[in-house]
Amino acid sequence: MEKAVKKTETIDYKNIFYPPGGILIWMIISVEVLTFTIALIVFAFQRQSAVELFNTSQNMLNKTIGTINTIVLLTSGYFMAEALHMLKRGKTEKSKFLLRLTIVFGIGFLVLKAFEYFQKLEHGLSLGYNTFFTYYWLLTGFHFLHVFVGVLILSYVYYRIKKGIYTAHNFLDVETSASFWHMCDLIWMLLFPTLYLIH
């Protein structure tokens, strides 16, 4: 325990090689965001060759659910940032409360997205329905998986904070999980307008 605390305290967070959460998580985030960006660029090129098909398919999406889910996920990201901030200030109880809210809103996103998936399948809009829905299922499905993994990670982090392992002097892992969670926000902010709004 003492070794972990000492290691955290000696990290120079102003150094470019030690961004919030550590350089490794940011390398992972960069690869993930780049992957989604390339996929969306390919999606945009495909749209140009079948504009009417893509526009018609896009109109089949539930923009209300998409908008609500955007608000839910961004709100969850805000709670995560505040939870980390409170932990760094030594306000553990507030941090735990905010982290619980983060997890609840994350689960809310997954439940609402699963309901949207159920609606699509009920209407026969599966992965193989057409090119647009192939992209829709692959992109949002991959993001869904990220959020699911993120909820599991945050649940583990919450348990460790509750046990007193992560504190104001030992928060690097919490910072890393927060960076991953904010990546989920960022990716959704790329997906939502591209898939749901932009014609």
In the chain, where the domains are located: 21-197
Mean pLDDT of 34-50: 95
Q: How confident is the model at residue 10 (pLDDT cuts 50, 70, 90)?
A: very low
Contact indicator for 188, 143 with CB cutoff of 8 Å:
yes
Q: How far apart are CA 154 and CA 80, in angstroms?
A: 9
Query: Which pLDDT tens digit goes with each residue over 120-155?
Result: 999 999 999 999 999 999 999 999 999 999 999 999
Look up residue 91 and give its amino acid.
K
pLDDT for the residue numbered 19: 64
CATH of domain 21-197: 1.20.120.80
pLDDT of residue 7 exceeding 80, the answer is no
CB atoms within 10 A of CB 112: 17
